[in-house]
């Protein structure tokens, strides 16, 4: 293998300062870089290929373990309390602490082309449960944020236009990465976006590194998610239970979701997950 030439760019390091330490292990000003699980997760899941031996969705198991060591729930709860003083919408949402208790059979009543009907078909066709976690009562603001975010994630797919597949996940990811900081102060929004940024970027890097045939679909999903996040109201606060009986286009108007496009990324996701070989390269569009 021919070695790639490394250009001489030493002038970029002109103002760098060497930092001395007596530590025998890695020490950084970044709490993420300091954490062994976090370092391993980034190295593994941003660089690995996909395969049938390990599903893409299972990446979150190790990510959750790493973030549990890095993030401070008490600190985030304190930021929530500070935010409540000047954010009435969030204050009401936290005061209500609404969690649905619906079961899968509750969705049988909805027409197939409604939000509730589409969700029911998704669950039944894949033999999924309504809730991926056992039901529990949140103990704090951040615990509630995570619990409710998990509960409404599939509805964010339907409402924001992300199909139920691996690349479709990028739509709600990038919707939140734009939408949460739009309605929440920077420090709190940053903490609430940590899982989203890691979860999203693992898809982005693996696409361009290993499955370049999917890259344009990935870029499009990112753009569509950001567009919805930018133009819409606070999507993470919405009460989706009020629009189960409506078609997605109607539900978007009621909720205040703007810019959503329904795009099916199933075929690209089959390539991304190595279940289908990419087709022969097509000619590049002329400039």
Vertex 208, ends 204 and 211: CA angle to 5°?
Answer: 105
Q: The tokens of 256 are what? A: 């205040």
User: How confident is the model over 8-33, as a mean pLDDT?
Assistant: 79
Q: The tokens of 70 are what? A: 């890095």
Residue 165 scores a pLDDT above 80: yes
pTM above 0.85, yes or no: yes
Higher pLDDT, 5 or 48: 48
Which band of pLDDT confidence, cut at 50, 70 and 90, is reported for residue 171?
very high
Predicted local confidence at residue 282, as pLDDT: 61
Q: Report which secondary-structure segment, H or E, holds 3.
A: none
Q: What is the largest CA-CA distance in the chain?
A: 68
Predicted local confidence at residue 92, as pLDDT: 98
* Closest listed residue to residue 272, CA positions, set 196, 230, 209: 209
Residue 286 scores a pLDDT above 60: no
Which band of pLDDT confidence, cut at 50, 70 and 90, is reported for residue 263?
very high
5-14, 84-93, 193-202, range with the lowest pLDDT: 5-14
Residue 222 scores a pLDDT above 70: yes
With beta carbons less than 8 A apart as the criterion, state whether 128 and 122 touch: yes
CA 127/CA 123 separation, integer angstroms: 6
Residue 12 scores a pLDDT above 90: no
Share of the chain above pLDDT 90, in %: 80
CA 254/CA 248 separation, integer angstroms: 10
54-63, 106-115, 181-190, 206-215, range with the lowest pLDDT: 54-63
Residue 178 scores a pLDDT above 80: yes
Q: Please state, rounded to an integer, the average pLDDT across all residues of the chain.
A: 92
* Closest listed residue to residue 238, CA positions, set 253, 256, 211, 224: 256
Cα-Cα-Cα-Cα dihedral of 113, 114, 119, 124, to 10°? -50
Q: The tokens of 149 are what? A: 């975010």
Higher pLDDT, 285 or 180: 180
Q: The tokens of 60 are what? A: 């979150």
Residue 177 scores a pLDDT above 90: yes
User: How confident is the model over 85-93, as a mean pLDDT?
Assistant: 98
The pLDDT tens digits for 38-65 are: 999 999 999 999 988 888 989 999 999 9
CA distances from 124 to 99, 121, 127, 166 (A): 22, 5, 5, 18
Share of the chain above pLDDT 70, in %: 94
* Closest listed residue to residue 76, CA positions, set 177, 150, 4, 145: 145
How many CB atoms sit inside 10 A of residue 269's CB? 25
Predicted local confidence at residue 23, as pLDDT: 85
- 45 CB-side CA count, 13 A: 25
Residue 30 scores a pLDDT above 60: yes
The pLDDT tens digits for 120-162 are: 999 999 998 887 667 778 999 999 999 999 999 999 999 999 9
Predicted local confidence at residue 137, as pLDDT: 86
Higher pLDDT, 194 or 285: 194
């Amino acid at each position: 293998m021919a070695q790639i030439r490394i250009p001489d760019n030493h002038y970029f390091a002109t103002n760098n300062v060497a930092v001395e330490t007596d530590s025998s292990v890695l020490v950084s000003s970044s709490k993420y870089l300091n954490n062994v699980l976090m370092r391993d997760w980034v190295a593994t899941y941003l660089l690995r290929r996909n395969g049938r031996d390990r599903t893409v969705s299972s990446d979150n198991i190790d990510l959750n373990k790493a973030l549990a060591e890095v993030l401070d729930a008490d600190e985030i709860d304190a930021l929530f309390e500070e935010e409540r003083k000047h954010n009435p919408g969030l204050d009401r949402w936290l005061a209500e602490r609404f969690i649905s208790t619906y079961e899968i059979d509750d969705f049988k009543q909805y027409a197939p082309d409604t939000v509730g009907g589409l969700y029911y078909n998704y669950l039944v066709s894949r033999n999924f449960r309504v809730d991926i976690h056992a039901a529990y009562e949140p103990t704090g603001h951040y615990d509630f944020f995570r619990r409710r975010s998990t509960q409404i994630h599939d509805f964010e797919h339907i409402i924001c236009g992300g199909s139920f597949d691996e690349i479709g996940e990028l739509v709600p990811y990038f919707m939140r990465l734009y939408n949460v900081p739009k309605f929440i102060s920077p420090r709190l929004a940053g903490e609430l976006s940590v899982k989203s940024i890691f979860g999203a970027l693992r898809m982005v890097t693996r696409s361009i590194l290993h499955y370049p045939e999917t890259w344009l679909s990935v870029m499009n999903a990112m753009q569509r998610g950001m567009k919805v996040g930018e133009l819409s109201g606070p999507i993470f606060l919405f009460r989706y239970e009020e629009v189960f009986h409506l078609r997605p286009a109607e539900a978007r108007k009621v909720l205040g979701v703007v810019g959503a496009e329904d795009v099916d990324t199933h075929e690209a996701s089959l390539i991304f997950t190595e279940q289908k070989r990419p087709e022969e390269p097509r000619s590049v569009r002329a400039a």
